[in-house]
Structure 1
Amino acid sequence: MFDTEKINELISLYVIPWSINIVTALLIFIIGRIVISILIGILGKVMGRTKLDSILIEFTQTIAKVLLLIFVIVAALDQLGVNTTSLIAVLGAAGLAIGLALQGSLQNFAAGFLLLVLRPFKAGDYVEAAGTAGMVEKISIFSTILRTPDNKEVTVPNGSIYSDNIVNYSARDTRRVDMVFGISYGDDLKKAKEVMMAALTSDERVLEDPAPNVAVSALADSSVNFIVRPWVKTEDYWPVYWDMTEKIKVELEANGMSIPFPQRDLHIFNEKA
């Protein structure tokens, strides 16, 4: 025969309290998940109204979700009587060990976070950073993908980018094209300047403001050098550079001027014995 009194005592001492604790822990976990989803949704909407990158918004939501979920799990375990103080200490030690093991990755992560917040460049910009240059294809939290002019894909760690100088060639609407042309010492300087300026002003891509500049820059060993500096829209930089290099050479030669190149005179002496 079962001892009814002992069974009732066991039920009252263990079964009922544990049942209540388990149900309460499950309610904490379920309700916590629902609240987390609501809070993450609100966070996404608030951040979506800003100019922050979508990658940064998604990443922030993920981090917030993980942290809140850990808090809910700890609260549920505490309801079950688990020593959460020791658990938190273990998680902290594990986090420290993981952090030391992934020090390089954490550096890239921090740099990626700053790149997404400060936005020194965006997708589509042509940049020079970390010893390479190319168009930005994608910015992720750990690395940035660049596409070089010869269509190579380069994955650059964000830590390397942020620790180096970043040159963004697409940041401004206009750029100055810097070119140098040399003419012979016997050529007419004034006429050469007029020919170069006429070549610049005849091109619709050359901006009137700021005005293009043509000036003598150096009296070199073999030539008189001119600096030729038109301002253009950023997307027209290379087309204008290439076209002007050809056009100015052709125009100078058509007007009787030559572009000299370094030469040496060789004198041979024939000594008789």
Structure 2
Amino acid sequence: MVNWSLKAIDYEVYNGVTVGDLILVFAILFIAFLIAKIIAMSLRRSLADKMKKGEIEALVKFVYAVVMLTAIVTVTPILGLNLTGLLVAGGIAGIAIGFASQKVVSNLLSGLFLIAERPVKIGDQIIVGNVAGFVEDMKIMSTIIRTYDGLYVRIPNETLFTSNITNPAANSARRFDYTINVRYMDDAEKAIRIIKNVIEEHPFALKIPPPRVFVDSLGESGMSIVVNIWAPSSEWTDVKMDLLWKIKIELERNGIQIPTKRNLA
């Protein structure tokens, strides 16, 4: 019985390919199928709250195709198939596709790394190169940035992953600075008190870290007062614009002016 089974396995089906070879081929393809299914389940589970359903399914199909294609390439020599002729015939097309797919794969892998690392998330304010704005959407191949003037910019994930990303919103608080010039004839200590009072009255100017107001330099036409203020990252832009105007109004109301040619004459 055993001898008959061994003979059956060694039975040549065609061109040196035996029954045993066919069993091995089916086993490899079946294992590849199981691996692809396991990877697909893991991707769906781990990315469910990080990506859109359609994008997850596109990624699953891509990974499934890669696994099965790898298995098919592996079994072709076992089946006695020679891919050399096919590869030579499609050499030019293969080179063109290779260059195109290199970018596609690079963007895809970069997208996966961005999802895993999470340096930014939708809604964050970021700066990438000369593009600054809000992260509107994160896809497998690219990230969409809505600039402050309302333009939508598509950045390939490879570019995003390999660039320096400034994410001001990563910290709950963010500092901004003013440099305010006052005349020598004005009282610098009074100006500092006024500025501190305006800051203390603002509901979104943080007490911790505390604001700093000090004379930083003495110029030809006046003194430079530097103001450091911390605000919640979510309110940073509004607080920065609001406080500068309020400080200006309050200084002028108390007779303290910014040096100009007119008031220095």
Q: Which TM-score band applies after superposition, normalised by the shorter structure?
A: 0.7 to 0.9
**1:182 and 1:223 in contact (8 A); partners too:** yes
Q: Give the superposition deviation at 1:178.
A: 1.0
Give me the whole-angstrom Cα distance separating, in 2, the residues matched to 1:48 and 1:91.
40
Give me the whole-angstrom Cα distance separating, in 1, the residues matched to 2:183 and 2:194.
15
In the alignment, does 2:51 pair up with 1:54? yes
Q: Give the superposition deviation at 1:88.
A: 9.9
Give me the whole-angstrom Cα distance separating, in 2, the residues matched to 1:91 and 1:64.
27
What is the CA deviation profile of residues 102-122 of structure 1, one whole-angstrom value per residue up to 9, with x for unaligned ones? 544454444434333322211
- Could you tell me which runs of 5 or more consecutive residues in structure 2 were left unpaired when the two chains were aligned: 1-11, 14-18
Give me the whole-angstrom Cα distance separating, in 2, the residues matched to 1:91 and 1:189.
82
Identity in percent? 29
Give me the whole-angstrom Cα distance separating, in 2, the residues matched to 1:260 and 1:242.
21
Partner residue of 1:155? Answer: 154
Coordinate RMSD, CA, aligned: 4.2
Give me the whole-angstrom Cα distance separating, in 2, the residues matched to 1:28 and 1:162.
39
Partner residue of 2:256? Answer: 257
Partner residue of 1:146? Answer: 145
Q: Give the superposition deviation at 1:143.
A: 2.0
Secondary structure of the equivalent of 1:177?
Answer: strand
**1:211 and 1:231 in contact (8 A); partners too:** yes
1:156/1:46 CA distance change after superposition, 3 Å: closer
The aligned runs of 1:24-173 (5 Å cut-off) are: 35=34, 38-44=37-43, 47-48=46-47, 53-54=50-51, 61-71=60-70, 73=72, 81-83=79-81, 86=84, 98-173=97-172
Secondary structure of the equivalent of 2:159?
Answer: helix
**2:204 and 2:232 in contact (8 A); partners too:** yes
Partner residue of 1:270? Answer: none
Secondary structure of the equivalent of 1:239?
Answer: helix
- Could you tell me which runs of 5 or more consecutive residues in structure 1 were left unpaired when the two chains were aligned: 1-12, 15-19, 267-273
Q: Give the superposition deviation at 1:201.
A: 0.4
Give me the whole-angstrom Cα distance separating, in 1, the residues matched to 2:185 and 2:96.
75
Give me the whole-angstrom Cα distance separating, in 1, the residues matched to 2:96 and 2:157.
22
Larger Rg: 1
**1:126 and 1:133 in contact (8 A); partners too:** yes
The size of the alignment, in residue pairs, is 249
The one-letter code sitting in structure 1 at the alignment partner of 2:172 is D
Give me the whole-angstrom Cα distance separating, in 1, the residues matched to 2:261 and 2:158.
45
